[in-house]
C-alpha cells in the first residue's frame, strides 16, 4: 500500500502558491492577489488546509472543484466572499443529495488556484492536490475530466447576495453559455462549483500534484535571488520545459473580441536571440509563439512569460513596451495532446488553422 501523503497548507504558504500559480496561468488566469487575500482570511479564521494526494483519494469520495468565473477587472473591485465560496459547495451537495468529501481545484493557474483553499478551510474538508487542467484555460469545458465523460454539470453558480442557480445542461457548451450570461447578471463575478465526480474519476482525470507544484515554483523564485541562482532556469527545470526566447517587448496590440482579451505581443531578441523576433498571440492566456515567422510552440502546451531577471510571471494585461521577458514552454499534461484534448483546447478551437506544435517535437 502506498504511503499516505498528507500535508498541510497554512497562511505563510499562500504567497508562494500565488507566485507559482501566476506562472501556470500562462499569461492569464487573473491576478492571484485577491485569491491569496481571500484564502488568507479563510485560513486565519478556520485553520490550515489538509492537502490529499490524488493516489490517496478513496474511490467513492465525492470530489467537487470550485472556482471563480467572471472578469478579472471586476474581481478586483468586487471580490467574492468566503461564505459565497462555501455556498456553492453546500448547494451542489444538496442537489446531489450527498455530502462533498473533498474539494478540488479547477484551474492551477492564476486566481483559481487559491479559491479551493477558501472552500476547504471554511468547510473543513480536505483539498485534493490536483487540478482539472494543469494550467489555465478560458472556458469551462476545457478540462481533462471532459475527456473522461465527466460532464461540467450539474453545476452551481452563486453571487454574493445569496442568489444561486443550479445548471443541469444537455452538454458542456450549454453550461459555458448559460453560466457566462448568469455571471454577467450577477455583476461579472460569480463563484462556481462544476464537474462533481467520484474519487475514482478524479484519480483518472485530474492532473496530480499541481498545488504543491505551485508552491514549489513560488519558493524557487523566492530563494533563487538569495542563493544567486537564475530563477528562470529553476522554473524551466522544474517544469521539464525549455527556454524559447529572451527579448524585449517592442509592441503590444490588444482588442476585445466576444468578451475575451485577444492580442499579440512582439519581442525583439536579446542575448543569444539578438536579431530575432518572437510574436506571442494570446486570448487571455498565451496561445501561440512564433520565432522569426515559424510557430515554435502552441496550446495546449504552456507558454509562460517570465521577467528575465526575477522569473516572476507577467500577465497579458501587464505586458508593455520595454519589458525584458523570457518566454518558456512547458509540456502540457499528455492527455491534452490526444485528439479529444486537441479538439477542446488546440489551436483550431481558438481560431488558428494549424496543428499544435508540441514541446520536444518542434520543427
Partner 1 sequence: MRIGIDVGGTNTDAVLMDGDRVLATVKTATTEDVTSGIMAALDGLHRQRAFAPAAVRAVMIGTTHFVNALLEARGLAPTAALRLCLPATASLPPLVDWPRRMVDALSGRAYLVHGGHEFDGRRIAALDEAEVRRAAEDMGRHGVRSVAITSVFSPVNAECEVRAAEIVAAELPGVAVSLSHEIGRIGLLERENATILNAALRELAARIVDGLASSVAGFGITAPLYLSQNDGTLMDLDFTRRHPVATLASGPTNSMRGAAMLSNVDTCAVVDVGGTTTDVGVLRRGFPREATTEVTIAGIRTNFRMPDVVSLALGGGSRVRDDATTGARVGPDSVGYELTSRALVFGGDTLTATDVAVAAGRAEIGDPDRVARLDRDLVRATMDQVVAQVADAIDRMRTSPEPLPVVVVGGGSVLLPDALPGAGSVRRPEHFPVANAIGAAIAQIGGEVDRVFAIRPGGRDAAVAEATQEAVDRAVAAGADPATVRVVDVDEVPLPYLPGNATRIRVRAVGDLDLAYPGGTGAAVPEEP
The residues of the shown chain that bind partner 1, judged by CB under 8 A, are 34, 37-38, 40-42, 70-74, 76-83, 160-162, 184, 187-188, 248, 250, 254-256, 259-261, 284, 318, 320-324
CB of residue 206 vs partner 1: minimum separation in angstroms? 26
CB of residue 189 vs partner 1: minimum separation in angstroms? 9
CA distances from 328 to 25, 28, 246, 277 (A): 13, 15, 9, 15
Taking the alpha carbons of 195, 72, 28, 23 in that order, is the dihedral positive or negative?
negative
Contacts of residue 239, defined as CB under 8 A and 6 or more positions apart, other chains included, come to 217, 302, 328, 330, 331
CB of residue 260 vs partner 1: minimum separation in angstroms? 6
CB of residue 223 vs partner 1: minimum separation in angstroms? 19
Helix (H, G, I), strand (E, B) or coil at 240: coil
CB of residue 337 vs partner 1: minimum separation in angstroms? 28
Taking the alpha carbons of 199, 202, 207, 213 in that order, is the dihedral positive or negative?
negative
Cβ nearer to partner 1, comparing 33 with 335: 33
Cβ nearer to partner 1, comparing 187 with 269: 187
Residue 135's nearest CA partner among 214, 195, 64 is 214
CB of residue 130 vs partner 1: minimum separation in angstroms? 25
Residue 275 burial (10 A CB sphere; 0-12, 13-18, 19+): exposed
Cβ nearer to partner 1, comparing 78 with 238: 78
Taking the alpha carbons of 14, 19, 21, 25 in that order, is the dihedral positive or negative?
positive
The DSSP-derived string for 325-348 is EEEEEEPPPGGGGSHHHHHHHSGG
Helix (H, G, I), strand (E, B) or coil at 307: strand
Cβ nearer to partner 1, comparing 80 with 208: 80
Cβ nearer to partner 1, comparing 72 with 208: 72
Cβ(138)–Cβ(30) below 8 Å:
no
β-sheet bridge partners, residue 86? none
Cβ nearer to partner 1, comparing 97 with 322: 322
Cα(307)–Cα(319) distance, rounded to whole angstroms? 10
The H or E element spanning position 267 is: strand 260-269
Cβ nearer to partner 1, comparing 169 with 268: 268
Cβ nearer to partner 1, comparing 259 with 334: 259
Cβ nearer to partner 1, comparing 4 with 255: 255
CB of residue 346 vs partner 1: minimum separation in angstroms? 22
Cα(342)–Cα(356) distance, rounded to whole angstroms? 8
CB of residue 140 vs partner 1: minimum separation in angstroms? 13
CB of residue 177 vs partner 1: minimum separation in angstroms? 14
Cα(139)–Cα(57) distance, rounded to whole angstroms? 27
Residue 107's nearest CA partner among 43, 26, 227 is 26
Amino acid at each position: 500500500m502506498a504511503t499516505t501523503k498528507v500535508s498541510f497548507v497554512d497562511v505563510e504558504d499562500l504567497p508562494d502558491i500565488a507566485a507559482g500559480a501566476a506562472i501556470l496561468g500562462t499569461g492569464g488566469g487573473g491576478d492571484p492577489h485577491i485569491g491569496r487575500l481571500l484564502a488568507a482570511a479563510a485560513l486565519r479564521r478556520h485553520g490550515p488546509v489538509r492537502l490529499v494526494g490524488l493516489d490517496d483519494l478513496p474511490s467513492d469520495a465525492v470530489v467537487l472543484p470550485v472556482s471563480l468565473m467572471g472578469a478579472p477587472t471586476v474581481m478586483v473591485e468586487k471580490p467574492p466572499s468566503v461564505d459565497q465560496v462555501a455556498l456553492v459547495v453546500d448547494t451542489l451537495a444538496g442537489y446531489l443529495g450527498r455530502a462533498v468529501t473533498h474539494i478540488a481545484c479547477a484551474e492551477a493557474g492564476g486566481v483559481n488556484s487559491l479559491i479551493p483553499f477558501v472552500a476547504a478551510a471554511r468547510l473543513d474538508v480536505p483539498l485534493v492536490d490536483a487540478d482539472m487542467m494543469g494550467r489555465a484555460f478560458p472556458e469551462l469545458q476545457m478540462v481533462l475530466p471532459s475527456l473522461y465523460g465527466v460532464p461540467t454539470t450539474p453545476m452551481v453558480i452563486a453571487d454574493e447576495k445569496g442568489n444561486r442557480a443550479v445548471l443541469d445542461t444537455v452538454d458542456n457548451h450549454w453550461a459555458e453559455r448559460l453560466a457566462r450570461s448568469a455571471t454577467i447578471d450577477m455583476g461579472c463575478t460569480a463563484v462556481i462549483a462544476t464537474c462533481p465526480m467520484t474519487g475514482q474519476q478524479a484519480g483518472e482525470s485530474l492532473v496530480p500534484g499541481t498545488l504543491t507544484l505551485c508552491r514549489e515554483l513560488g519558493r524557487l523564485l523566492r530563494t533563487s535571488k538569495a542563493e544567486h541562482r537564475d530563477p528562470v532556469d529553476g522554473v524551466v527545470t522544474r517544469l521539464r520545459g525549455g527556454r524559447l526566447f529572451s527579448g524585449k517587448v517592442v509592441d503590444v496590440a490588444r482588442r476585445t473580441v466576444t468578451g475575451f482579451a485577444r492580442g499579440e505581443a512582439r519581442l525583439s531578441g536579446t542575448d543569444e536571440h539578438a536579431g530575432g523576433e518572437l510574436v506571442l498571440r494570446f486570448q487571455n492566456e498565451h496561445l501561440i509563439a512564433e520565432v522569426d515567422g515559424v510557430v515554435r510552440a502552441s496550446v495546449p502546451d504552456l507558454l509562460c512569460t517570465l521577467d528575465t531577471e526575477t522569473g516572476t510571471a507577467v500577465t497579458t494585461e501587464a505586458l508593455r513596451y520595454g519589458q525584458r521577458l523570457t518566454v518558456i514552454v512547458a509540456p502540457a499534461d499528455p492527455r491534452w495532446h490526444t485528439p479529444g484534448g486537441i479538439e477542446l483546447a488546440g489551436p483550431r478551437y481558438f481560431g488558428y488553422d494549424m496543428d499544435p506544435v508540441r514541446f520536444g517535437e518542434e520543427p
